Amino acid sequence: MKENKNTKKAFYSGKDLPEVKLKFNSAWDLAPAPEDSKHVSIKKQYDLFINGEFVKPNSKKYFATYNPATDEKISEVADADEKDVDKAVKAARAAFGKWSKLSGKERGKYIYRIARLMQERAREFAVIETMDGGKPIRESRDIDVPLAANHFFYYAGWADKLEYAFPNRNPKPLGVAGQIIPWNFPLLMAAWKIAPALAAGNTVVLKPAETTPLTALKLAELIRDSGLPKGVVNIITGAGKTGAAIVNHPDINKIAFTGSTNVGKWIQKSIAGTDKKCTLELGGKAANIIFEDAPLDQAVEGIINGIFFNQGHVCCAGSRLFVQESVADVVIRKLKDRMETLRVGDPMDKNTDIGAINSKQQLLKIQEYINIGKNEGGEIYQPSCSLPKKGNFCKPTIFLNVSQSHRIVQEEIFGPVLAIQTFRTIEEVIEKANNIPYGLSAGVWTDKGSKIFNLTSKLKAGVIWANTYNKFDPTSPFGGYKESGFGREGGLHGLGAYLQF
Partner 1 sequence: MKLKKKILNTFVQRLKKQRMAKKITLPDFRITPTIDQVGIEERVARFTTRSIKKESKMQGMKMILSMIDLTTLEGKDTEGKVKQMCYKAAHLHDVIPGLPTVAAVCVYPSMVKTAKDALKGTGVKVASVSTAFPSGQSTHEIKIADTTFAVDNGADEIDMVISRGEFLKGNYNFVFDEIVAIKEACGKARLKVIFETGELSTLDNVRKASDIAMYAGADFIKTSTGKISPAATMPVTLVMLEAIRDYYYATGRMVGMKPAGGISTSKLALQYLIMVNETLGADWLSNEWFRFGASSLANDVLMQIAKQTTGVYQSSDYFSKD
Residues with active-site annotation: 281, 315
> Given the complex with partner 1, which of 20 and 364 has the nearer CB atom?
20
We find the least distance from the C-beta atom of residue 334 to partner 1, in angstroms, to be 8
Side chain identity at residue 180, one-letter code: I
Q: For the purposes of burial, counting CB atoms within 10 Å of the CB of 29, is it exposed (0-12), middle (13-18) or buried (19 or more)?
A: exposed
Beta bridge partners of 258: 281
> Given the complex with partner 1, which of 58 and 467 has the nearer CB atom?
467
> Which ranges of 349-425 would DSSP assign to H, the alpha helix?
360-375, 407-410
Between 137 and 166, how does the x/- string for binding to partner 1 read (CB under 8 A)?
-x---x------------------------
Neighbouring C-alpha atoms within 13 Å toward the C-beta of 227: 6
We find the least distance from the C-beta atom of residue 185 to partner 1, in angstroms, to be 20
User: How far is 389 from 386, CA to CA, in rounded Å?
Assistant: 9
Tell me: does residue 293 bind partner 1 (CB under 8 A).
yes
Between 380 and 419, how does the x/- string for binding to partner 1 read (CB under 8 A)?
----------------------------------------
One residue of 14, 25, 275, 405 binding partner 1 per CB under 8 A:
25
- Work out whether strand 485-486 and strand 499-500 pair parallel, antiparallel, or are unpaired: unpaired
> Measured between alpha carbons, how far apart are the two ends of the chain, in Å?
74
We find the least distance from the C-beta atom of residue 456 to partner 1, in angstroms, to be 17
Stretch that binds partner 1, among 93-101, 177-185, 294-302, 433-441 (CB under 8 A): 294-302
One residue of 43, 109, 336, 350 binding partner 1 per CB under 8 A:
350
Strand ranges inside 126-225, DSSP E: 172-173, 176-180, 203-207
Nearest to 499 by CA among 154, 170, 106, 273: 170
Q: Contact at 8 Å (CB) between 69 and 99?
A: no
CA–chain centroid gap for 89, Å, is: 26
User: How far is 186 from 139, CA to CA, in rounded Å?
Assistant: 13
Neighbouring C-alpha atoms within 13 Å toward the C-beta of 349: 16
Tell me: does residue 24 bind partner 1 (CB under 8 A).
yes
Tell me: does residue 26 bind partner 1 (CB under 8 A).
yes
We find the least distance from the C-beta atom of residue 32 to partner 1, in angstroms, to be 8
We find the least distance from the C-beta atom of residue 482 to partner 1, in angstroms, to be 30
User: How far is 227 from 413, CA to CA, in rounded Å?
Assistant: 41
> Which ranges of 185-231 would DSSP assign to H, the alpha helix?
186-199, 214-226
Question: Between residue 27 and residue 56, which ones bind partner 1 under the rule CB under 8 A?
Answer: 27-33
> Given the complex with partner 1, which of 26 and 386 has the nearer CB atom?
26
Tell me: does residue 301 bind partner 1 (CB under 8 A).
yes
> Given the complex with partner 1, which of 13 and 59 has the nearer CB atom?
13
Tell me: does residue 473 bind partner 1 (CB under 8 A).
no
Q: How many residues bind partner 1 (CB under 8 A)?
A: 41
> Given the complex with partner 1, which of 32 and 240 has the nearer CB atom?
32
Torsion of Cα atoms, 40 then 63 then 83 then 209, to 10°: 70
Q: Site residues (CB under 8 A) for partner 1?
A: 1-5, 17-20, 22-33, 138, 142, 293-299, 301-302, 330, 333, 337, 341, 350-351, 447, 467-468
